[in-house]
Amino acid sequence: MSAYGELLDQNTVRFERLLPGPIERVWRYIVESDKRRQWLCAGDIGPGDRANVDMLFHNETLSKAEDIEVPEKYRDLPGEMQFTGTVTRWEPPFAVSHTWEFNEEESSEVCYELEEVGDKVRLVLTHRRLETGDTVLGVCGGWHTHLDILADVLEGREPKAFWKTHSAFEAEYEKRLSA
């Protein structure tokens, strides 16, 4: 089991993972659409400051494992969801940040920071400006699940079923964040 995310303040969560390197490989899985779609979503990030970010999510395609139905909380959302953003920091292959436009009223920011640690790469992911406690909860379950899938992909393992895994992590984060 991977480490749980940390709530830095009521609107910011931070995750850390140690992934197989080299750093350039992990960087490509963060910014290149064909690689990013294997663990998070399709769409490119950047290149460069102020560049566009496109995110096309289709969580049901992230695993071949048998999954549960989409949880009630998310059932009304479309199977494919599209978001946009703008790059706010571009330092290949060490860091990229971008906004994440959830809707017209809600915008957050995600930062991926990479550091070589021997033959591994430390990924620190920080998601800021989350508007509500419910958003924080969903983001914690989502990032934990997606980052575990990234680790599986980089290690050559079959990822676990997305919604089954997400539901378990979201329930655990609900307990942890309520304490």
What pLDDT is attached to residue 178?
85
Token couple for 12: 């910011």
Residue 65 has a pLDDT of 72
Which residues in 47-67 are b (16+ Cβ under 10 Å) and which e? eeeebebebebebeebbeeeb
Domain count, the chain: 1
Per-residue pLDDT tens for 136-149? Answer: 999 999 999 999 99
Is residue 1 assigned to a domain?
no
- Whether 98 is in a domain gets the answer yes
Task: Indicate which CATH number applies to the domain containing 29.
Answer: 3.30.530.20
- pLDDT at residue 79 is higher than 70: no
Indicate whether this model's pTM tops 0.75.
yes
Residue 1 pLDDT level (bands cut at 50, 70, 90): very low
pLDDT in tens, 15-68: 999 999 999 999 999 999 999 999 999 998 989 999 999 999 988 888 877 777
Task: State how far the alpha carbon of 30 is from the alpha carbons of 24, 96, 128, 142, 145, in Å.
Answer: 10, 9, 18, 16, 15
Residue 93's domain spans which residues? 6-178
